[in-house]
Structure 1
Amino acid sequence: MSALKIINVLLFILLINAPVFAQIQYFKDADGIRLYPQSHQLYPRDKTDKATVTIKGDVGTYTIDQIELVVYKHFLDGSVSQSTYSQTTTNSFHFEPILDAGMYLYSFKLFLKRNHRTFLTQNIASNVVCGDVYIITGQSNAMGIINNVPSEGIYQDSLYQEYPAEGSNKIYSKSLGNMPKYNGVNGNLTNYNAANNYWTPATASGDFVGFVGLWGLKLQYAIQEKYQMPTCFINGAYGGSTIGEHQLGFGNNSDPYNLETLFGSLNYRVQQANLKGKIKGIIWYQGESQNTYNRATTYQDSLHFLIDTWETHLGDFSKVYVIQIHTGCNYHGFGQVVREHQRSIQRPVNSSSEIVPITACGIGERASAIYDSFYSCHFARTAYNQLADRLFQTIGRDFYHQNTCITSPNIIQAYYAYNELVLEFDQNLAALPEGIETQFEFYKNSQLLPNVSILKAYAEDNKIYFSIDTQTPDAVSYLLVDDPVYNHEMIWLENPAGYAAFSFHQVPIEHLPCTEHFCSIQSNRISNQNPLQIHLKSCTTQNKVSLYTLQGQLVFQKDFPFLNIKTSLDLSHLAQGLYFLNIESDGQFLETKKIIKY
C-alpha cells in the first residue's frame, strides 16, 4: 500500500472516531435542565432501585438513517456488560435507558449509521452512577473545616481526615458545582458562578469544586462501603451564617435562584442537577451564630420557616437531621436555649418531612489552635469522624434497613416520685460518672436556683434518680454552662455504647399522681450474717411490714413512715425456718413475700 493510501486510511479512521460534539446537538428542557448525562452524574434511584436516563438531541447536518446508543455497565470486578438501543431516524433521537442502583459505573456512547455502517461514534459521558442524594448546609461545622477562611483550612484536611487511596472507589461519591464562596460582590454573602453547574467526584480538599466537607465525605464513603450505594452530597454551608442568611428573601431578594444568596445558590445547584423532589434528607448543622436573645428564642420558628421553603423549592424529602450544637462555641449565654430548641423541635403533622435530632455533644476533642484560630468552635479529625458515625447510624436505620442503630440518650420527662426526682430517657444509660451532679442546674419560675444540692444520684435502666435537698425546683437543665475552650473538661452522661446524651434546658418537672406501691427484697434467703435487705416505695408514709411463722404467729413488725426507703432488717433473734413477710400501706394489705432463714 502506498504512503498516500495509508495516510488517507488513517485520516478516515480518525474522522470516524472523532468526538465531533459541535454537530450533535443535545437538548435541554424549558428550565435549562440537561436532557443527557454528564460524566460523574448521579441519577437518584426510585423505589425499584432504578433510574431512567433521558437522552434527547439531533444529529445536525449529518445524514443518517439509524442511530444507536450503547450503555456500558462497569462492575467492581472489572467486568463490563453492555445494552444497545437503536432508533431509525434521519435527525432527532430520544433514548431512555434504565440504570440499576449500586456499585456500577455507567458510560454512554452514540453510533451514527448510514446504510448499516457506522461512520461516527461519540462518547457522551462516563463514570455515571445511580444512588441517593443528601444535602448538607449550615455554618462552618457543616463544612468541617479547620479555619474560618476555607481556602486555608481545606488544604490541610490530611491532618483531619483519612480518605481511601486514589482509585475507582472515590468516583462513586459525587457532588455538583461548588460551595458558596465568601465575600460576594456588592455586600452580598456570595457570588455563585452559574457556569459551575457540572458534576464532579466529591472531595474535601483543594478548592470549593465538589467540596462536601470533611465529615460529609467520610459519611459518603461509609454509606458506599457498607450499603454499596453511591451518593451525591451537595454542601451549601457558609461559615458564621445565621438561619436568616439561609432564608429565601435574605437581603430583600425573593428570587429563589438568585446566585448572590445562599438559598439561591443551593437551589440553583439542586435544579441544575435535576434533583428536585429526589432528595433523601437534609443535614442541618447551624446554631453557633444564633448569639442574641431574639435569634435564640425564635430558633424553632425560623427553622420551620426555612424547612417549609425548602419543601416548596427543593421538593419533598423525608428527613431533616438537625445537629444539636456542642457546648463551647456559643458561650454568650444563649447556647443552651438554642440546644434545647434543636433537641425538642418537631415538624407539624401535615409536613412531608420529619426532624431527626442528633447531638454533637461529647463527640471528641476540639481543633488544634496551631491550625485553627477558631479552635474553640471547630473539632479535630477524630471528632468529625465520630459525628459522621452518628449520622451514619441514623441514616442507616432510616434508609438502608439497618436493624441496629445507636443514638444518643434524649430525655423524655422529669417528675417527682416517692420523694425522688426522676429523669426518664428514651434508652438505657451507663453508670453515672463521678461528678455528673455538677452538670445539672435547677429552676423555679424560670429563675435559676443556685443552692440546690444533689444528695444522691444513681441510674437504673433508662432513669436517673436524684435525692435533692429540696422539692421546690420546677425545671431542670443538663450542661447549662458552656465550656468555651475544650470539651474534654465536661462530664458526659452516656449510654452503654459511649454516646453522650442530648443537652437539655429547663425541662419541666412534673408532680405525677402516685398510683402504685413498690417493694423489693435483695434476697429471700437470710441469715444472722446476711440480714433482710428491703426497698419500699409508697404513696403514703403509713407503711408497715410484718413477719409471720408458718403457723401464723407474728414474730416481727415495724412501721416505715417514709415514701421511699432502702434499709436492712435485723432478724437475728429468729430461729431458722420459713416465714412470711406482709407489707401494708395506709391500712391496706399489698403483698406477701416468702422468707427463708438458714
Structure 2
Amino acid sequence: MLRLLPALLVLALPAAAAAQVRFLEGPSQGRLYPRDPVTNQAEVAMRGEVTVPGFVTASLLVMRDGAIWQIDQQSLTYSNGVAPFSFSTTIEAGLHRYRFRFLLSDGFSSDTYALVGDVVCGDAFLVQGQSNAVAADVHGEHRANDAQSTWVRSYGTARPTAAAAAANHEWYVADGEGQNDRGTIGAWALRLGKNLVDRYQVPVAILNGALGATPIRWHLRDDADPENLNTIYGRLLHRARAAGLAERVRALFWYQGETNGAMDGLEYFRLWSSLRRDWLEDYPGLERIYVFQIHNGTCGGKAIEVREAQRRLADWFPEVEVMSTSAAPGHDGCHYWYEGYEELGRRITRLVARDLYGEPAAAAFDPPNVWQARFTGPARDQIRIVGRDRRQFLTIDPLAYRWFELDAPERVIGVGQDGADLLLQLSGPTTAATVAWVGHPGDGAWITNSLGVGLLAFRLPIQP
C-alpha cells in the first residue's frame, strides 16, 4: 500500500506558531475533490481564524503542477482578539496536482502557516457488497497492484469496526490486494479506476465498504442513525461524508448475494429496493448503480431466485445496470483468481465509459439477456428463449445445454441458435412451467457474446 500524508492541514510551522491559526475548513493532503461533470471543476474552500493579534492580511497561494494557479489576499479584522478569514478557489479536473500555501503578513513580512499538496480533482465512486466486492488477493498472486496509480485514491479504512472508521481520516493511493484495510478497494475496482484514469485523464476516488460473508440485511441503513459506525452502511456513509464526496458520488457498484443463496427472490428484491432508496437519498449525485449478478458457486449454490431478482433490477429502476459474472475466467467456485477480477473490471469499465463518459455504445457492452420463453409448438418438446438485444451475436459452447433446468423430469439435451434467440431441444414432451439457465461454478461451457460476456442467469415461465 502506498500511503499518502494525513488528511489534515499540514502545518508548516512549529506547534507554537501553528497555534496562531485555527483552521475550520480546508484542503487535505492527497485529497480528491469531486468535480461537477458539467463544469469539470470543483470549489475548494479554506476558512478559519487567526487567534493572535498583529497580522494585517491573510493570503492563499494555489499552485498547479508547480506553476501559479491563483493568488488571493484578504485584510484581517479582529473582534475579541480573533480575525476570521475565508477563501474560495476553483480547481479543474485532470491529471494535475494542486498545492495550497496559506500565509499571514504583519505588514512587513509574510510567513507560511499551512502547506497542503497533492490535491486533485476528479470523479468519485463507491463499492459495496460481500467478499467478491472486497475482491482481495485471496490466492496470494500479488498482481492486482500492477494497476496501482497515484491518480486512483481512497479514503479512510474498510476495517469493520466503529473505532477504526472513526479514527482514520487519511487519504491513500488505492490498494487492490489488501482486505478490509486502509485504502483497500479490491482488484476489479482498482482495474476499473486505472482504466478510467488512462482513458479519460481524470483522477478517481473509490471507497469500498464491502464485508465478506454478509447477508443483505446486514447492509441496510439504520434509519434512526444513518452514520451508525456499527453498521456496514453507516461506516461507508461516514467515510464518504468525511472525505467530502457524498454529494457527488457518480456511481455505486454492488456485488452481493451469495450469502442469501436460499432467499426468496421477492424478499431479496424488497430489501435491495430499500437499499437503493437510501443510497439515492444519501448520495444525491448518484447517476448509476451497477449490480454484478452473482455466480453459481460453492458460496451460495445456484441461487437462481436471487440471481433472477438481480437480473430484473434494471427493468424496475432506470439508473440500474446489471453485469453478468458468467464466463469470467479464474472462478475458484466462490472467488476469483486475479484474471477473473481483471475481467470483471474490464466489463464494468465498458458500461461506465458508455453511461458516464459518453463512450460510443456497442451491443456487446451489455451481457446477453432474455425476454421470454415459449414452446415452439404443441409437442412441447422445444423451447424458444427470446433474446432482448437483436444485435447480439452469441457463441454457444456445445456442452452449455447441461446448465439449463426445467421444473419437470425432462432435460434439455441440446441448444441451438436462431438469430438472437436460443432454441432448447428437450428429451421429450414436458409439462414444465419454468426454464432456467443456472450456469456452473468454475470454468467450462458458457453462452457468450462477441466480447466474451456470459449470458445472465434467469428463470422464466414458459409461455404456451
Helix, strand or coil at the partner of 1:309: helix
Letter in 2 for 1:197: H
TM-score (normalised: structure 2): 0.87
Letter in 2 for 1:202: A
2:154 equivalent in structure 1:
175
Q: Give the Å deviation of 1:404.
A: 3.3
Query: In the alignment, is the contact (CA less than 8 A) between 1:26 and 1:58 conserved in 2?
Result: yes
RMSD: 2.5
Helix, strand or coil at the partner of 1:322: strand
Farther-moved stretch of structure 1 (228-237 vs 209-218): 209-218
**Equivalent-residue separation in structure 2 for 1:196 and 1:16 (angstroms):** 22
Between the aligned residues of both structures, percent identity stands at 26
Query: In the alignment, is the contact (CA less than 8 A) between 1:343 and 1:503 conserved in 2?
Result: yes
**Equivalent-residue separation in structure 2 for 1:121 and 1:434 (angstroms):** 71
1:364 equivalent in structure 2:
329
Helix, strand or coil at the partner of 2:144: coil
**Equivalent-residue separation in structure 2 for 1:339 and 1:473 (angstroms):** 20
Which structure has the higher relative contact order (CA within 8 Å, separation 6+)? 2
**Equivalent-residue separation in structure 1 for 2:220 and 2:455 (angstroms):** 30
1:302 equivalent in structure 2:
271
Query: In the alignment, is the contact (CA less than 8 A) between 2:324 and 2:453 conserved in 1?
Result: no
Structure 1 residue 345 corresponds to structure 2 residue 313: yes
Query: In the alignment, is the contact (CA less than 8 A) between 1:192 and 1:259 conserved in 2?
Result: no
Q: Give the Å deviation of 1:359.
A: 1.3
**Equivalent-residue separation in structure 2 for 1:56 and 1:397 (angstroms):** 39
Q: Size of the alignment, in residue pairs?
A: 438
**Equivalent-residue separation in structure 2 for 1:146 and 1:17 (angstroms):** 41
Query: In the alignment, is the contact (CA less than 8 A) between 1:304 and 1:347 conserved in 2?
Result: no
**Equivalent-residue separation in structure 2 for 1:437 and 1:416 (angstroms):** 17
2:290 equivalent in structure 1:
321
Helix, strand or coil at the partner of 1:258: coil
Structure 1 residue 238 corresponds to structure 2 residue 217: no
Query: In the alignment, is the contact (CA less than 8 A) between 2:260 and 2:300 conserved in 1?
Result: no
2:33 equivalent in structure 1:
43
Letter in 2 for 1:280: R
Q: Which of 352, 367, 387 is the equivalent residue of 2:344?
A: 387
**Equivalent-residue separation in structure 1 for 2:374 and 2:207 (angstroms):** 43
Helix, strand or coil at the partner of 2:258: coil
Q: Which of 82, 85, 88 is the equivalent residue of 1:93?
A: 85
Q: Give the Å deviation of 1:329.
A: 2.8
Structure 1 residue 220 corresponds to structure 2 residue 193: yes
- CA gap of 1:157–1:180, structure 2 versus 1, over 3 A, is farther
2:354 equivalent in structure 1:
397
1:23 equivalent in structure 2:
20
Q: Which of 428, 435, 441 is the equivalent residue of 2:399?
A: 435
**Equivalent-residue separation in structure 2 for 1:410 and 1:377 (angstroms):** 23
Q: Give the Å deviation of 1:120.
A: 1.1
Q: Give the Å deviation of 1:440.
A: 1.4
Q: Give the Å deviation of 1:412.
A: 2.0
**Equivalent-residue separation in structure 2 for 1:302 and 1:495 (angstroms):** 31
1:541 equivalent in structure 2:
none
**Equivalent-residue separation in structure 1 for 2:54 and 2:210 (angstroms):** 49
Query: In the alignment, is the contact (CA less than 8 A) between 1:494 and 1:500 conserved in 2?
Result: yes
Structure 1 residue 463 corresponds to structure 2 residue 421: yes
**Equivalent-residue separation in structure 1 for 2:40 and 2:279 (angstroms):** 25
**Equivalent-residue separation in structure 2 for 1:326 and 1:257 (angstroms):** 31
Q: Give the Å deviation of 1:499.
A: 1.3
Superposition pairs of residues 278-293 of structure 1, within 5 angstroms: 278-293=248-263
Helix, strand or coil at the partner of 2:348: helix
2:280 equivalent in structure 1:
311
- CA gap of 1:377–1:214, structure 2 versus 1, over 3 A, is same
Q: Give the Å deviation of 1:337.
A: 1.3
1:493 equivalent in structure 2:
447
Q: Which runs of 5+ in 1 are unaligned?
A: 1-14, 28-34, 148-152, 185-189, 368-375, 443-447, 512-598
* Cα deviation 1:500-539 (Å, max 9, x = unaligned): 111112x12224xxxxxxxxxxxxxxxxxxxxxxxxxxxx
Farther-moved stretch of structure 1 (206-215 vs 218-227): 206-215
Q: Give the Å deviation of 1:125.
A: 1.6
* Cα deviation 1:574-593 (Å, max 9, x = unaligned): xxxxxxxxxxxxxxxxxxxx
Helix, strand or coil at the partner of 1:223: helix
Helix, strand or coil at the partner of 2:166: coil
Q: Give the Å deviation of 1:346.
A: 3.8
Superposition pairs of residues 434-453 of structure 1, within 5 angstroms: 434-442=398-406, 448-453=407-412
* Cα deviation 1:22-65 (Å, max 9, x = unaligned): 321111xxxxxxx2110111111112111111110122205222
* Cα deviation 1:345-371 (Å, max 9, x = unaligned): 24756xxx621111111111135xxxx
Q: Give the Å deviation of 1:114.
A: 2.5
